[in-house]
Structure 1
Amino acid sequence: MRLSVLDQSPILTNTSPTQALQQTTELAQFTDRLGYHRFWVSEHHSTKSLAGSAPEILIAHLAAHTKQIRVGTGGILLPHYSAYKVAESFRVLETLHPNRIDLGIGRAPGGLPNVNLALNNGKHPSIESYPQQVKDLMAYLHGHDPYEMNVYATPLGETAPPVWMLGSSGTSARLASDLGTSYSFAHFINGYGGTRAMKRYEEHFAPSLQQSHPEGNVSVFAICADTEDKAEYLASSLDLALLKIEQGEKREHFPTADEAARYPYTFFEKERIQENRRRMAVGSPSQVKKELETLASDYGVNELIINTIVHPFEERLRSYELLADEFGLSN
């Protein structure tokens, strides 16, 4: 089974945005050496606890500082942008790093509602035009002129980055199958309904100019440590972070496990944390491997994208290292 990485450039307690992006770079280089397949970075706007606001810029940097791992976006929020401009940006990236670039796309706002207005000259983007945008994007990426205006996304080349449609619902699965893109389900966002969405995608997939058969993967939170107790301790910080995000609290940093240990949880908050654990695999290497293999089997995929947010950063590196050893990854 392939393992890949989703990194959101979290800003940990007592670290700066500069350090968060430096950590993303170090993690990309580290997981490249360990044998991970992809490294995707996300797009979030006006979010003080996440440093990744321009993934197309960040992956240019990451590709230049790694050797063989695929790098990509998880994802570009297409309704905010011109499909033609996105295609040209990724044609440049593909020309610089042939067969190493992935173009993950989504239609979420990437932040609070006012982000939509700030990114679209005071207007709300048209979600209804998203399917056509995806069609245009794929056409431009593959050297076509969809509106017959003698307009092409340059530089032209023999290879094109694959489009991955990101989603956390059946709607995105239907669209990915109809348009013939690859499909990535965000289990770390929604722990329900993903297996049905993936099955629907595979059963109704329509071949496209990009690919002839369905290709899917699943992203999930995973926290691995040498012992179960240590993994649970580290995961408590993510438990608290997710709880506070759901409660609408704006934080400038992700909390530490010590902060989580001191937090006075109510009964209902503890119940919510257990519910959120559906989105995570936590434990020793053997425990996490078993959970991940079960998840992959349930979804019918052979690739999982691992999102690990723990404090300190060294424990994040260690978690990915333990998983690589347990799964026998190698270059």
Structure 2
Amino acid sequence: MTIQLSVLDQSPLLQGNNERDALKQTIELAKHVDQLGYKRFWMSEHHSTKSLAGSAPEILVSSVAANTKQIRVGTGGVLLPHYSPYKVAESFRVLEGLYPERIDLGVGRAPGGMPGVNYALNRGKYPDVHSYPTQVSHLIDYLLGKDPEGYQVKATPLGETTPPVHMLGSSGGSASVAGQLGTGYTFAQFINGDGSPVAIDRYYNSFIPSPMMQEPYASVAIFAVIGDTDKEAEFLASSLDQALLMIEQGQVREFFPSPEEASQQTYNMYEQARINENRKRMIIGDVRSVKQQIEDLAHAFQVNEVMVNVIVSPFERRLESYTKLAKAFNM
């Protein structure tokens, strides 16, 4: 089985960097992996989060696409319950017009931040997540030039090509919806370490061909930490260990700590247990080990594409990590 590698980027603030640095690094990383031959570059949506700068991925898509040549560029993903399907369709029809056949529209239903984010994005109201399948259906219809809500409107600009829709999920809830609507599906293992191939099996089993896709297409996204040795990889992974633990403890995280700082932290037995649990969301080791783990993951989930999210310090190590993976997979 030939595995294609892609990138999921969250515009992380590394220690010693600011928000502007993080956004610039997203562009630099995209240019780097474009040259290496990665298939896609997706950006996530996070709100009111100091350590992640990517609050408007649809804007970053435009900048990344303008600075790259061949890699597909998209969102991982637009949090649709917060927005009008019509407006999202028009935004991505514009992007498709600017960069034809290079744009992916990934959507999700997560809140994208702390509880208050839901109210701030929805003018004081809580979004109706139960209508998410209907929203995705309307979004697809608008992209295809239809008028699903009967308002006598079209999502413009119309064009010869349409960006494909992919649904992202960290549980099996959206897998069946993705299959029934005929979209792509990406399982977020980097969010849910207890994820299993069951969600993607559900997607495959429920897939109905659509104008979006005639065949099912699934992928899986995972954190990866790559060192020159397993020992160095563990050292580098200490940053992500501490950062994820801080999120779970409700601490305000200004940035991702350096491994020099994080590796000196001590944890009680409960904290260590959480760190061990979060390791299910990561692949860690030297490049040979990481390659094997990626292949095992792809085989277990029966997918041909793995999206890799590398958050290590300094930024140059992130670039090196993706270079090592590209060489390991003969890209």
TM-score normalised over the length of structure 2? 0.98
Q: 1:208-227 maps to which residues of 2 (within 5 A)? A: 208-227=210-229
CA distance in 2, matches of 1:246, 1:150: 46
Give a deviation string over 1:226-251, Cα, whole Å, max 9, x none: 22221111111111111111111111
Find the counterpart in structure 2 of residue 262 from structure 1: 264
Per-residue deviation at 1:328?
0.6
Find the counterpart in structure 1 of residue 238 from structure 2: 236
CA contact 1:168–1:194 (8 Å) conserved in 2: no
Find the counterpart in structure 2 of residue 135 from structure 1: 137
Q: 1:92-107 maps to which residues of 2 (within 5 A)? A: 92-107=94-109
Which of 7, 10, 15 matches 2:9? 7
* 1:245 equivalenced with 2:247 (yes/no): yes
Which of 143, 168, 171 matches 1:169? 171
Secondary structure of the corresponding residue to residue 87 of structure 1 = helix
Aligned pair count reads 329
Which of 283, 301, 305 matches 2:303? 301
CA distance in 2, matches of 1:258, 1:91: 45
Structure 1 vs Structure 2 CA RMSD: 0.9
CA distance in 2, matches of 1:269, 1:85: 43
Find the counterpart in structure 1 of residue 203 from structure 2: 201
Q: 1:61-210 maps to which residues of 2 (within 5 A)? A: 61-210=63-212
Find the counterpart in structure 2 of residue 291 from structure 1: 293
Give a deviation string over 1:297-321, Cα, whole Å, max 9, x none: 0000000000010111111111111
CA distance in 2, matches of 1:182, 1:237: 32
Secondary structure of the corresponding residue to residue 212 of structure 1 = coil
Identity of matched residues, %: 60
Gaps of 5+ in 1: none
CA distance in 1, matches of 2:149, 2:251: 45
Give a deviation string over 1:42-67, Cα, whole Å, max 9, x none: 10000001000000001100000000
Secondary structure of the corresponding residue to residue 197 of structure 2 = helix
Secondary structure of the corresponding residue to residue 235 of structure 2 = helix
Find the counterpart in structure 2 of residue 43 from structure 1: 45
CA distance in 2, matches of 1:254, 1:120: 29
Find the counterpart in structure 2 of residue 323 from structure 1: 325
CA distance in 2, matches of 1:267, 1:293: 32
Per-residue deviation at 1:148?
4.1
Per-residue deviation at 1:147?
3.3
CA distance in 2, matches of 1:36, 1:184: 17
CA distance in 1, matches of 2:109, 2:319: 30
Q: Kindly provide the amino acid, as one letter, of the partner of residue 251 in structure 1.
A: R
CA distance in 2, matches of 1:149, 1:267: 58
TM-score normalised over the length of structure 1? 0.98
Secondary structure of the corresponding residue to residue 161 of structure 2 = coil
